Structure 1
Amino acid sequence: MPDLSYHLWYLITGLGGPALTLPLAIAIALWLALGYSWRMAAGWLLLLGMAIGVVTVTKLAFLGWGVGVRELDFTGLSGHAMLSTAVYPVALFLMLLPARSKFRLVGVLFGLAAGIAVGMSRVVLSAHSPSEAITGCIVGAVTALLFVRWSWDAEPGRLSAVPVAVSLMMLTVGLHGVHVPTQRWVTHIALKVSGHDRPFIRARWKAGRYDSPSAAPLSQTQNTLAPPVILNNGNV
């Protein structure tokens, strides 16, 4: 890993937060609909939604049922890594869509590098294991590259690159560091669906100290939701 200060790693990891990347994804869809077609916008949201679904399912499976891979220290894909690796290449592709192909390619590669940097930050900050960050980056990269390949030859409409770039950069600056409790929401859903009174936690799961949290009445589950939301496997 590059020898960077923790402050810088925190700045990098903030680029992958859902409070930033999801508004960026919606802004991308709006610009696609305005300057190109609603079909492109819907395709982008569909691909991203599928990737988010994959991340969510892996997290629910671990938190609710302890489904993971101990040998790889895998408890679910990194949402930060997936979102950043999916969103930033597409954002730069959209900005550079009216430009020559080589500039578009450079933009996509730069976006992928930014997403990989976010994935690395999740490992450095002990929010995720390497396997979780790598798989998150892979799913995000596949999502971005599928959309870019599909949209590569799109004919630009009346959309100028300047307002697109300015709006996306303003969102990035304005929402960087904003936090939403996605891990709490996913944990809440996992406990509701599994019927368990507490989620699986990485350290105890790796040590094999328990295999199935005990079930509890719904009222008791509701009363015990607050304490477990700070987990060793970090945020999204």
Structure 2
Amino acid sequence: MHDLPIHLWYSITRLGGAGLTLPLALTIALWLALGYTWRLALGWLAILAAAVSIVALTKIAFLGWGVGVRAWDFTGVSGHAMLSTAVYPVGIFLTLLPTRASVRVAGIVIGLAAGIAVGLSRVVLDAHSPSEAVSGCIVGALAAVCFAYCAWNARPGKLSVVPVAVSLLMLAVALHDVRVPTQRWITHVALHLSGRDRPFIRARWKAGVQTPRRTPDAALRHDASLPSGLT
């Protein structure tokens, strides 16, 4: 698989971008609210929010304080791997919810495979270490399976497969290359909370080189450089 063209790996990795997966997640919540119950919709959003929080907290801990595991080259849970492994299985599960159990299970497995492919692409493209991609897939898979377990006995037949599938597919095609600067936002939060001038960087961290703390002058320069509303 590593012999695939590099442009194909980039296409795969974009499937896990927040600009695509988060709108898909919100659309899933909307369909759940319309076709089933608001309780299911809110449950899905709560589960996903918990998974997103794990990603954000591990990244903030590393960028701001250098918290990681050097032996595993771990600096934070992969957001691409987590989001794709959480959202795609649930999207397919929702589409297949009116069908029999075996079909739903097959759909979840296909969704998990798509998420794992995104996780692998992050490693191939040197965006994440294997431990970060694997942890992202695990967190995302747990979120997807947890929601599927909670929604397994939802009353079928209240939601037609066609509009759900078509809307999710159209959204995936339309937003495939939309990018959201989540890493930049997380870095701003990490620097603000830790009081550092610069974030920890993987290469320096692995070499044991300390990242300097923010000086008063540097803090003023940093705050002045932030967009309005982020200071």
Task: Note if contact 2:120-2:133 (Cα within 8 Å) is conserved in structure 1.
Answer: yes
Task: Note if contact 2:98-2:157 (Cα within 8 Å) is conserved in structure 1.
Answer: no
Structure 1 equivalent of residue 19 of structure 2: 19
The CA distance in 1 between the partners of 2:225 and 2:63, in whole Å, is 14
The CA distance in 2 between the partners of 1:14 and 1:156, in whole Å, is 32
Task: Note if contact 2:93-2:108 (Cα within 8 Å) is conserved in structure 1.
Answer: yes
Task: Note if contact 1:119-1:137 (Cα within 8 Å) is conserved in structure 2.
Answer: yes
Amino acid at match of 1:93: F
Structure 1 equivalent of residue 170 of structure 2: 170
Amino acid at match of 1:214: R
Task: Note if contact 1:64-1:193 (Cα within 8 Å) is conserved in structure 2.
Answer: yes
Counting only pairs closer than 5 Å after superposition, residues 1-236 of structure 1 correspond to structure 2 as 1-156=1-156, 158-210=158-210, 212-217=211-216, 218-223=219-224
Secondary structure at the aligned position of 1:126 is classed as coil
Amino acid at match of 2:215: A
The CA distance in 2 between the partners of 1:97 and 1:61, in whole Å, is 38
**Post-superposition offset of 1:111:** 0.1
**Post-superposition offset of 1:42:** 0.5
Amino acid at match of 1:89: P
* Deviations 1:147-199 (CA, angstroms, capped at 9, x unpaired): 00111111035310100000000010000011111111000111111111000
Provide the TM-score with structure 2 as the length reference.
0.94
Unaligned runs of 5+ in 2: none
Amino acid at match of 1:100: R
* Deviations 1:80-112 (CA, angstroms, capped at 9, x unpaired): 000000000000000000111111111000000
Task: Note if contact 1:58-1:77 (Cα within 8 Å) is conserved in structure 2.
Answer: yes
The CA distance in 1 between the partners of 2:223 and 2:179, in whole Å, is 23
Secondary structure at the aligned position of 2:222 is classed as helix
Amino acid at match of 2:214: A
Task: Note if contact 1:80-1:118 (Cα within 8 Å) is conserved in structure 2.
Answer: yes
The CA distance in 1 between the partners of 2:12 and 2:25, in whole Å, is 18
* Deviations 1:24-75 (CA, angstroms, capped at 9, x unpaired): 0000000000000000000000000000000000000000000000110000
The CA distance in 1 between the partners of 2:183 and 2:10, in whole Å, is 18
The CA distance in 1 between the partners of 2:97 and 2:212, in whole Å, is 51
Task: Note if contact 1:198-1:224 (Cα within 8 Å) is conserved in structure 2.
Answer: no
**Post-superposition offset of 1:2:** 3.9
Amino acid at match of 1:105: V
Amino acid at match of 1:213: P
Secondary structure at the aligned position of 2:77 is classed as coil
- Percent same amino acid at aligned positions? 66
Task: Note if contact 1:200-1:213 (Cα within 8 Å) is conserved in structure 2.
Answer: no
Number of positions where the alignment pairs a residue of Structure 1 with one of Structure 2: 225
Unaligned runs of 5+ in 1: 227-236
CA RMSD of aligned residues (A): 1.3
Task: Note if contact 2:99-2:156 (Cα within 8 Å) is conserved in structure 1.
Answer: no
Structure 2 equivalent of residue 233 of structure 1: none
